[in-house]
């Protein structure tokens, strides 16, 4: 089977893309609204894009032609936190993905406690084992797309004691982190087998 993506409908392109780029890590993004309300929602168009500077990106779609709360808040405050949702938080993460009015505090809806980021103006999920405090680096309007790419510079990282650092490195132990990832539709995945293989030496 071969498809020209231009011949597909938007829905078909979305379904093909999100079932081929898998598994996707989930950025559980927390922000403050301009009016002092907390907001939390998951985004799986999420990627690590640079280590120096320390950059991550999240692509946020529009809802009926308007910015989602997360994007509106990020434009206002210039800040957000990426919380790593873990296996035990699947139901809570899903609860925060509902299409709620801006007034709804998703922390409250999902029964989550928040804390205040130290380096940026954003709340974070208190019991997430890994949190990245992000300052907006660049907001890229994607030509012809209803998505907007938000690039954040991670200024501070929180890691719980339950997630050790591999000795003599700065690698966080992913087996201890147990992050959730998204497949397509309602399907998720967790860390399965993690085979290790040394790279071939340079010749």
Ligand X SMILES: Cc1cc2nc3c(=O)[nH]c(=O)nc-3n(C[C@H](O)[C@H](O)[C@H](O)COP(=O)(O)O)c2cc1C
Alpha helices, DSSP H, located in 55-141: 69-77, 90-95, 106-109
Interface pick for ligand X out of 97, 115, 139, 140 (rule CB under 6 A): 97
Q: Give the interface segment with ligand X, choosing from 6-14, 55-63, 124-132, 191-199 (CB under 6 A).
A: 55-63
Extract the tokens encoding 151.
């690039």
141 binds ligand X (CB under 6 A): no
User: H or E element: which one contains 11?
Assistant: helix 10-20
Measured from the CB atom, is 59 or 92 closer to ligand X? 59
The distance from CA 49 to its chain's CA centroid, rounded to whole angstroms, is 13
43 binds ligand X (CB under 6 A): yes
Interface pick for ligand X out of 44, 57, 92, 114 (rule CB under 6 A): 44
Backbone angles phi, psi at 18, to 5 degrees: -75, -10
Interface pick for ligand X out of 69, 84, 133, 184 (rule CB under 6 A): 69
Measured from the CB atom, is 11 or 198 closer to ligand X? 11
The answer to whether the CB of 60 falls within 8 A of the CB of 148 is yes
Tell which residue, 151, 191, 154, has the closest CA to residue 173. 191
Residues near ligand X (CB under 6 A) are 26, 39, 41-45, 59-61, 68-70, 94, 97, 99, 182
């Amino acid at each position: 089977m071969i498809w020209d993506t231009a011949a597909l409908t938007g829905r078909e392109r979305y379904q093909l893309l999100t079932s081929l780029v898998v598994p996707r890590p989930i950025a559980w993004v927390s922000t403050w609204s301009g009016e002092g309300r907390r907001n939390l929602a998951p985004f799986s168009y999420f990627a690590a894009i640079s280590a120096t500077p320390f950059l991550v990106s999240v692509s946020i779609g529009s809802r009926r032609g308007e910015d989602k709360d997360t994007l509106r808040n990020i434009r206002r405050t210039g800040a957000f936190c990426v919380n790593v949702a873990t296996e035990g938080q699947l139901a809570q993460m899903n609860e925060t993905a509902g299409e709620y009015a801006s007034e709804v505090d998703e922390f409250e809806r999902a029964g989550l406690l928040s804390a205040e980021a130290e380096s940026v103006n954003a709340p974070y999920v208190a019991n997430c084992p890994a949190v990245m405090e992000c300052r907006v680096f660049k907001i890229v309007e994607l030509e012809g797309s209803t998505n907007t790419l938000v690039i954040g510079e991670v200024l501070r990282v929180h890691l719980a004691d339950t997630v050790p650092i591999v000795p003599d490195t700065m690698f966080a132990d992913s087996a201890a982190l147990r992050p959730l990832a998204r497949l397509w539709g309602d399907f998720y995945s967790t860390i399965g087998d993690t085979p290790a293989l040394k790279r071939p030496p340079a010749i």
